[in-house]
Amino acid sequence: MIDWGRVRELRDEIGTEDFAEVVQLFLEETDEVAEKIRSAMPERDIESALHFLKGSALNLGFRELASMCQVGEKSAAMGQFETIDLNQVIAIYEKSKSAFDIGQKAESAA
C-alpha cells in the first residue's frame, strides 16, 4: 500500500523537518480533493482530481492510491465515468493515510 522506500527517499532528499511540513501539506490538499469527490463532483472535474491525487500519491509513496487514480484518470479521459469507483478511491486514500500514520509512528518509536 505504501512505498516506504519512496518515503525514506523523500525524507532524505528534503530533511526530516521539511518532510513533516510536506506531509502536512499533502494531507491538507488531498483531504480537500477527497472531500470534493465525496460531495458528488461533476464528471468534468473527475479526471483532473484523479490526476492531482495520483501525482500527490506518487510523491509520498501512496502506491496503491496512485495506481487506482491512474486507472480512473484514463477512464475519465475516455468518458467512461461509469467504470470509476470514486468511493473505492476514497476508501484506499483513507486506508493509505492510516497505514502511513501507523508506519510513521512505528518509525519514530524505533
- Taking alpha carbons only, the member of 81, 60, 57, 76 closest to residue 6 is 60
Note down the domain range covering 57: 4-109
Arithmetic mean of pLDDT, 57-66: 94
* pLDDT at 45 exceeding the cut of 90: yes
Count of domains observed in the chain: 1
* pLDDT at 110 exceeding the cut of 70: no
The alpha carbon dihedral of 67, 87, 30, 9 has a sign of negative
Spatial separation of the C-alpha atoms in residues 110 and 22, rounded to whole Å: 22
- Percent of the chain exceeding pLDDT 90 equals 82
The model's pLDDT over 72-89, given as tens digits with 9 standing for 90+, comes to 999 999 999 999 999 999
CATH code (residue 26):
1.20.120
Q: Mean pLDDT over all residues of the chain?
A: 93
